[in-house]
Amino acid sequence: MKITWIGACRSFATTALILTGAMAAAIPPPVPLVLNYQAKLTDTNGLPLSTTTTLIFSIWDAPVSGSPLGAFLDADDVLPANGVVSMLVGDDPGNLIPTSIWDSGATRWLEVQVNGNTLSPRTALVSVPYAMRANSANSAVSATVATNAVHASTADLASSVTGLVKSLPMDGQAYVIVEVTADPVQNGINLVTAYNRAEALTPHGQPLSARNRAMVVVLPGQYDMTTGTLLMITNYVDLVGLSTARTDQYIFGESSGQGTGILRQTASDVRIENLLVECTRSSGGLTFSASDPAAYFPDGALAGTVVTNCEFRADGTNAYSTRRAVEYSGTYTNCTGGRIAWGGFGTASGIFTDCIGGTASFGGLGIANGVFKNCTAIDNSFGGLGGTASGTFQNCTGTGGSFGGSGGTASGNFTNCTGGTDAFGGLGFSGFASNASGTFTNCVGGSGAFGGISGIPIGPVTVTVSGTFSGCIGGSYSFGGGPAISGNGAGGKFLYCNGGTSSFTATGAPLALYCVKNGAAYP
């Protein structure tokens, strides 16, 4: 994401108005407590954004790190015109910028999130046409001349005045801020209460919709759900942690049993951002089904879901980080789960970017037919252990049996991926039909990878090596090779590939050009 400032877009729409004695008789107009924000938004290729974009504004006390001020958060969905957006920040009567933000006179900084991505650096808020706080006044609500005012609303003369400062309400037209206390259990109750209030909001006087959303703002703190659940059952109600350090917003609890979790989601069109959620269930067995409890427990096939910068954990072996054996069809970015996460024993059909999973994640023992970029998991992930890896995989890393390995099918497109033993359609044991029929470019596997057979099978096996392999590296018995049996390479193409002992099947007369087998040119 690239952002280009336009004109005075970094400036307040309200800053210092300096009046001389001759001007004192004039009554200035009311000072608007808003910011005028203009920018041009482009994607990573420099092309202007033209789709609906969510911008979230907050004000901080430092250019980096620091703390948000006044509990102010302004979220707006905008439709850029050739990438250009122009809007007012803090213009919602129910969500004004708190005047107390300016009390110290220190520089304040505007932070902007665009579709969940925090722009860097923050922007210093400087003075231009009007002022939002009198230099020598805490709050000049009524005065004549505000010499260096920043919030002299209808000033006549403000040289040393103290008045009432209006604070940000916990509820706005488009948001509800969760009240945080020193008691984690009370915070858990407050979280549920805030969500229930957000469901009833009508932002801008209109019903909730994909372009008119409500937001539950989770402030940094600990939220103990005990044995309860946050039910996310309403579309267009989002759950967003204020700090991009997701561990700052820690939601945890002990699941009450089967068929539930800490975050229980049935609504499809929701956004979940900047959270750490943990299921602390310490006892009670598992049924090894979709009913087993998890920190994140969504219904299957919720294609409208967007989860960003979240981590889901299970404390021990009596729960899962994310619900197993269902379909994950949403968009997931910079998220972390444990074993059997993200469609393990189910389907991973969504878009996964910079995500991490444990054993059998991303459709392990199931189907991985989504788009996976820069993702990492361990054994039997990405459609491994008898599963199917038919999606698009770029710069992903798995270990043994991943990417349709260990008796599965690797029929997708794989670029710059790394797997272990029996990965990429390799066969680790008998009784499974293995298939490496996809397109593999610059990938690395271990022994028995790319349709190979790493061990001596007992009983009949079927191995098909009909894909296209370019610049790939395997260990012993790779590319359809095996210690006692070879795979069928009919239709297969091996270009600039490197295999170990007994690699490259000759069965089916596959095409092999410029390859290396056990250190020697092949064929």
- What single string gives the DSSP state of each residue in 370-391? SEEES-B--TT-SS-SS-EE-S
Residues 410 and 325 placed together within one structural domain of the fold: no
Going across the sheet that includes 327-328, the strands are: 327-328, 347-348, 367-368, 388-389, 409-410, 433-436, 462-464
Q: Which of 130, 158, 186 corresponds to the end of one domain?
A: 158
- Kindly state whether residue 358 falls inside one of the protein's structural domains: no
d(CA 137, CA 36): 24
pLDDT value at residue 355: 99
Longest alpha-carbon distance in the chain: 102
Measured CA angle at 127 (ends 122, 130), to 5 deg: 130
Q: What is the pTM of this model?
A: 0.71
Residue type, 44: T
Nearest by Cα to 68 from 115, 22, 100, 91: 100
d(CA 335, CA 113): 17
Q: What is the mean pLDDT of residues 333-357?
A: 98
Residues 133 and 174 placed together within one structural domain of the fold: no
Which residues have a Cβ under 8 Å from the Cβ of 518 and sit 6 or more positions away? 499, 500, 501, 502, 503
Q: Over 50: is that where the pLDDT of 324 sits?
A: yes
Task: Report the CATH number at residue 286.
Answer: 2.160.20.10
- pLDDT confidence tier of residue 48, bands split at 50, 70 and 90: confident
Measured CA angle at 137 (ends 17, 133), to 5 deg: 45
Residues 502 and 429 placed together within one structural domain of the fold: yes
Query: 281 by DSSP, 3-state: which?
Result: coil
Residue 255: which domain range?
Answer: 170-337
Q: What total of structural domains would you count in the chain?
A: 3
Which parts of 406-507 are beta strand (E)? 409-410, 413-415, 433-436, 439-441, 462-464, 468-470, 493-495, 498-499
Residues 105 and 193 placed together within one structural domain of the fold: no
- Kindly state whether residue 432 falls inside one of the protein's structural domains: yes
d(CA 116, CA 353): 13
- pLDDT confidence tier of residue 137, bands split at 50, 70 and 90: very low
Assign residue 91 a region (left: φ > 0; alpha: ψ between -120 and 50; beta: otherwise). Answer: alpha
Q: What is the mean pLDDT of residues 191-207?
A: 94
Task: Report the CATH number at residue 95.
Answer: 2.60.40
Share of the chain above pLDDT 70, in %: 82
Residues 180 and 313 placed together within one structural domain of the fold: yes
- Kindly state whether residue 423 falls inside one of the protein's structural domains: yes
Model confidence pLDDT, tens digit, residues 6-47: 433 333 332 222 222 222 333 334 444 678 787 878 877 777
pLDDT value at residue 170: 60
- pLDDT confidence tier of residue 308, bands split at 50, 70 and 90: very high
Residues 99 and 231 placed together within one structural domain of the fold: no
Residue 296 burial (CB < 10 Å; 0-12/13-18/19+)?
Answer: buried
d(CA 387, CA 345): 9
- pLDDT confidence tier of residue 104, bands split at 50, 70 and 90: confident
Which parts of 187-343 are beta strand (E)? 214-218, 221-224, 230-232, 237-241, 249-253, 261-265, 271-273, 276-279, 294-298, 306-308, 311-314, 320-322, 327-328, 331-333
Distances (CA, A) of 191 to 133, 250, 263, 464: 34, 12, 11, 53
Nearest by Cα to 449 from 520, 389, 509, 395: 389
- Kindly state whether residue 357 falls inside one of the protein's structural domains: no
Residues 140 and 193 placed together within one structural domain of the fold: no
- pLDDT confidence tier of residue 149, bands split at 50, 70 and 90: very low
Residues 373 and 497 placed together within one structural domain of the fold: yes
- Kindly state whether residue 226 falls inside one of the protein's structural domains: yes
- pLDDT confidence tier of residue 261, bands split at 50, 70 and 90: very high
Residue type, 102: W
Mean pLDDT of the chain: 83
d(CA 414, CA 441): 6
Distances (CA, A) of 282 to 254, 256, 257, 275, 316: 8, 11, 11, 22, 6
Residues 314 and 372 placed together within one structural domain of the fold: no
Residues 174 and 147 placed together within one structural domain of the fold: no
Tokens representing 189 are 């109750």
Residues 130 and 219 placed together within one structural domain of the fold: no
- Kindly state whether residue 49 falls inside one of the protein's structural domains: yes
**Segment among 15-19, 87-91, 130-134 with least mean pLDDT:** 15-19
Contact status, residue 372 vs residue 404, Cβ threshold 8 Å: no
Query: 246 by DSSP, 3-state: which?
Result: helix
> Pick the residue with more confidence: 17 or 394?
394
What element of type H or E holds 41?
strand 35-42
pLDDT value at residue 146: 36
- pLDDT confidence tier of residue 71, bands split at 50, 70 and 90: confident
Q: Over 90: is that where the pLDDT of 147 sits?
A: no
Share of the chain above pLDDT 90, in %: 59
Q: What is the mean pLDDT of residues 289-298?
A: 97
Give CA 353 to chain center in angstroms: 8
- Kindly state whether residue 394 falls inside one of the protein's structural domains: yes
Measured CA angle at 8 (ends 7, 11), to 5 deg: 160
Residues 321 and 186 placed together within one structural domain of the fold: yes
- Kindly state whether residue 313 falls inside one of the protein's structural domains: yes
d(CA 435, CA 509): 17
Q: Which of 319, 337, 355 corresponds to the end of one domain?
A: 337
Q: Which of 103, 128, 158 corresponds to the end of one domain?
A: 158
Model confidence pLDDT, tens digit, residues 433-469: 789 999 999 999 999 999 988 876 666 677 899 999 9
